[in-house]
Amino acid sequence: MDNFLFFFEEMPVWQKLVWIIAVLGAFWILEGYYALVKFRYNKWKHAKTNFLLLGFVMLINTVFGLATAGVFLWLDDSQFGLLQIIDLPVWAELIMAIMVLDLIAQYFVHYLLHKVKWMWRLHLIHHTDTHVDATTGTRHHPFDFMIRESFALIAVVIMGMPVAFYFFYRILSVFFTYFTHANISLPRFVDKTLSYLIVTPNMHKFHHHYQLPWTDSNYGNMLSIWDRIFGTFTYDKTENIRYGIDIVEDETSDNIGYQLGIPFNRSIKTKN
């Protein structure tokens, strides 16, 4: 187990980049053969918008990488955090760390992004995509991403987790981000069965419906248990889903300049 975690602790940047490209590429290809929705769109033009937003996110991630390194150095020196005062097998501590990260850095912050007015305006860009596919997982306003990363660091400090746990979580998170957004059709029985434990493609698509109440449901990224525990779980017929958001014109979906300006566009009236 220690060797397994050491691999992620020492994993070079180029391998992480290869992992992102490989996972995104795999789901990109699968969408062509097992599509949930038969889109009539220029897939490359659509991807260009989302990849530009990914570029901004990666730049910010570089800055947060320095902050993250500082946090782990402080944790190592102070021995602060829940994992420092309990004595469990490494595998049990890893599972606990991943669950707390998924709860705080994914479910909870995602819930806030929908419920707090100024956060919702930042998060709108993720919901304006009218052709949800694997690349939609990269579609975040830079300020939205900064909020998410801040909550991830909060979870790290609460748990006092080693850096290997955090890096392993990030690798898992990349997979689930592209898996849940991918325009792929799993057999309904398989998807629904898996959704009792993990977030599945069908389950997450309801979150991208253009109107309430589905928009404010299925906040999870990896584990679906949080949505079930807190009463935000939804599962219905995917053919009833329409992508986009009802307060932003569909035609602006791939206009990068317009999308970046959405949080500051007062002509867009939000629900809060």
d(CA 173, CA 126): 17
Residue 270 lies in a domain: no
The answer to whether residue 106 is domain-embedded is yes
In a domain, 194, yes or no: yes
For the stretch 234-254, pLDDT in tens is 999 999 999 999 999 999 999
Q: Which structural domain range is residue 56 located in?
A: 2-264
The tokens describing 1, both together, are 């187990």
CA 175 to chain centre: 10
**Domain membership flag for residue 151:** yes
d(CA 262, CA 209): 19
Contact of 129 with 50, CB cutoff 8 Å: yes
- Rounded to whole angstroms, how far apart are CA atoms 207 and 213? 9
Residue 16 lies in a domain: yes
Burial 16-45 (b: 16+ CB within 10 A, else e): eeeebeebbeebbebbeeeebbebeeeeee
Rounded to whole angstroms, the Cα distance separating 54 from 117 reads: 24
Q: Do the domain assignments include residue 125?
A: yes
Over the stretch 74-83, which tens digit does the pLDDT of each residue have?
A: 998 888 999 9
Answer whether residue 144 shows pLDDT above 90.
yes
How many angstroms from the chain centroid is the CA of residue 225? 16
| 269 lies in some domain | no
How do residues 204-214 score in pLDDT, each as one tens digit?
999 999 999 99
Tell whether pTM > 0.85: yes
Q: Retrieve residue 144's tokens.
A: 């939205």
Tally of structural domains, the chain: 1
Binned at pLDDT 50, 70 and 90, residue 272 comes out as low
| Residue 209 backbone phi and psi in degrees, to 5 | -65, 150
